[in-house]
Amino acid sequence: MVTMVLLPEKKATHKLVRVEDGGLLLTALEPYCTATSLIEFARKDGSVHVHPQVRKRKIFVGQAQEHSSAIGIPSCTMSCVLDPGSWTKLAWSVVTGTLLVCLLLATSRMGSLYGDGEEVDAHVSYQATEDLGLCQMPQSPSCLSHDNRARLSSLPLDGSLTFSNTSSAASDFGLIRFSEPSAVVHPKSVSDIEAVVHAVLRDTRSGLTLAAKGRGHSVHGQAQALNGVVIEMSSLKGIKVAPHGEPGCSQPFVDAAGGELWIDVLKETLKEGLAPRSWTDYLYLSIGGTLSNAGIGGQTFLFGPEISNVLQLDVVTGTGHSVKCSPLNNPDLFHGVLGGLGQFGIITNARIVLEPAHEKVRWIRAMYTDFATFTRDQELLVSEPPESAFDYIEGFVVLKNEDPNNGWNSVPFDGKKINPSMIPEEGGSVLYYIEVVKKFSSNDVVSLGETVERMLAPLSFIPTLVFTTDVPYEKFLNRLHDVEVSLTSQGLWDVPHPWLNLFVPRSSIASFDALIFKHMIKDDFTGPILIYPLKRERWDSRSSAVIPDESIFYLVAFLRISFPASGPLLSSLIAENDKIMEVCHNAKLGCKMYLPEYEDLDSWKLHFGERWEAFARRKHKYDPDFILAPGQNIFPRIQTSPATAIA
Ligand SMILES: Cc1cc2nc3c(=O)[nH]c(=O)nc-3n(C[C@H](O)[C@H](O)[C@H](O)COP(=O)(O)OP(=O)(O)OC[C@H]3O[C@@H](n4cnc5c(N)ncnc54)[C@H](O)[C@@H]3O)c2cc1C
């Protein structure tokens, strides 16, 4: 094991340095580059954990294990710490032209450095590590105090608890943030979750925290808990369909445990000819994880996000009590938890509205060169009365090139290609397309063509660039699974995903196109870009979800993929996201981040705006010790003194 402390250096470049025991050190990192570099390192060695902590000080601790022959250096284990808290110092040093030298340090096992490395003072390293308050972090994956460990070990759980196999809970789909917990719980009952919450609450000294993890499909460590406890919700099972509702209410619904996946809910409900009516694009997400955000997709304009389609929740709050809540029963908790970023309680069950499922869908994509026409048509479509509207409406930006993943050839179905001569020359460097769906059953097939034609008639897409296919309903809803399988087989699924999701008010969308799509999207952009309108009236303003204050606003999603062997560094992709945020802010576009990730309280307050007070009040009420969902970086756990953070 080798430990080092790194201060950010001026350049983003990094070097691997061989040390005496065959270990590797990374040097010359910038703030984001800690994770970045380690990830890029990990791409070669296959295993790495970087821990972004401690909150505002933003310390990243990394531990990379096992190196492969890819860079010709023997196996090793490595840990490193970066203190981007000194980024301010770096900024100064850049201004003054002073080169901030990378401080490479090692523990007693480090020994001398070879190659491009510099020999450094091991004593300083140790000191710095202590200063950063990391306890034994680089050396030991667990910082659990004896008391906490004993308390957790003695819990009489129906499920299980482990202190050793914790690394899977240290990572997520983003592969940007890595915080290893001290313990992972696999609950089998709600009382398991209550017991763990109580055990964590009893720790008043070491700042123990607790995160529920759905599928870990967050991209910025939101479901992680550095040195805390992670509850793997997937082990809490249960899907029960009520096709005829319950006495007094015939509305069909499904009760699903918080860790169940939407795909499994779909499969169960289809057995009764039913399905939820609002969806995300990808179904291997957990009920609790999506309901903690919003759950949006092509049906949101019609039925609202997934959080607008919940009848009742069972929640274990941060005080360790299991509470049933609904719009009539404990409404404050119910609305708070929906879109509440996991801050107020752990969703153990959700009752979700169902509708009759259809057999098939007609799936249509129609292309545009002109942004104003594209958005005007999208808004026309979402403004139709529900009975005459399409059942799903989304939109995408593609590059004006032949790239099969991101260019115009990604638009036709079944891998068909567009003849380049069909692409109009006018317009900018990108193209747009609308994606719509009409559900149908075998009985409707005769009239379907006519119906769809009538619905498309008012639109002004390029007439030669419209593509249609019919697929089973379930296949359509689960359409991204094929993409996942294909990318996984190519080793391109488990790669970093520096995503940025924004809600952009309708009044700003043209400026957004001019400032961002037309100017900042380069032809090496990897990953889909989504853009489609949503209607505020379909969102319950009592929920915790934050959306712009306009009747129509757009989801704009930059679903960037950082490919291992090619393309820009992860750090530069993250920097591009930051730039987009900065441009939006400076141009006062009124954007709100979806799946938000902020590092400091001021940014969170800005994000919530006038709703911050209600959010903070609920936190004090339902999780007064601030133990829940620390990976969101909103409320640091209260230890000895009352929270001053949210004053
Ligand atoms: C390929 C892909 C496609 C996606 N498509 C969409 C899309 O179309 N629309 C959309 O809206 N989102 C989409 N997402 C984002 C997704 O909604 C979020 O990642 C969300 O967090 C759900 O992921 P998860 O279930 O793995 O939750 P996690 O990442 O595990 O958790 C997310 C947050 O919720 C908390 N949490 C988890 N479970 C519970 C629980 N039971 N109770 C309380 N809090 C809990 C966690 O502590 C964490 O703070 C997509 C993500 C991926 C990877």
Residues 6+ apart with CB under 8 A from 224: 169, 170, 171, 172, 177, 178, 179, 181, 211, 213, 230, 630, 631
pTM attached to this predicted model: 0.82
> Active-site residue among 394, 474, 513, 597?
394
Q: Supply the pLDDT for residue 639.
A: 65
Atom of ligand 1 nearest to the CA of 217: 26
> Active-site residue among 281, 435, 623, 625?
281
Domain boundaries, the chain: 5-131, 239-355, 360-594
Q: Supply the pLDDT for residue 516.
A: 94
Residues 6+ apart with CB under 8 A from 483: none
Active site residue 131: no
Comparing CA positions, the residue from 358, 380, 389, 381 lying closest to residue 277 is 358
465-521 per-position pLDDT tens digit: 999 999 999 999 999 999 999 999 988 899 999 999 999 999 999 999 999 998 888
281-292 per-position pLDDT tens digit: 999 999 999 999
Residues 6+ apart with CB under 8 A from 513: 371
Report domain 360-594's class. alpha beta
Instruction: Supply the residue whose CA is at minimum distance from atom 31 of ligand 1.
Output: 289
Active site residue 281: yes
Q: List the chain residues with pLDDT less than 70.
A: 1-142, 639-647
Q: Which helix (H) or strand (E) holds 44?
A: helix 33-45
The residues lining ligand 1, judged by C-beta closer than 6 Å to any ligand atom, are 172-173, 211-218, 222-223, 233, 258, 280-282, 285-286, 288-290, 292-297, 341-342, 346-347, 595, 629, 631-632
Q: Which of 285, 479, 538 to mutate to test the pocket of ligand 1 (most atoms within 8 A of CB)?
A: 285
Residue 511, number of CB atoms within 10 A of its CB: 15
The CATH architecture assigned to 239-355 reads: 2-Layer Sandwich (3.30)
- CA-to-CA dists, residue 427 to 238, 397, 405, 432, 513, angstroms: 51, 13, 21, 10, 12
Q: Which of 197, 290, 307, 594 to mutate to test the pocket of ligand 1 (most atoms within 8 A of CB)?
A: 290
Residues 6+ apart with CB under 8 A from 449: none
Residue 391 contacts residue 297 (beta carbons within 8 Å):
no
Cα gap 525→606, rounded to integer Å: 29
SS3 content of the chain, % helix, strand, coil (to 5): 30, 20, 45
Which phi and psi (to 5°) does residue 471 adopt? -140, 155
Q: Which helix (H) or strand (E) holds 255?
A: strand 253-257
Q: Supply the pLDDT for residue 35.
A: 37
Cα gap 99→86, rounded to integer Å: 13
> Active-site residue among 217, 220, 335, 497?
217
Cα gap 393→438, rounded to integer Å: 10
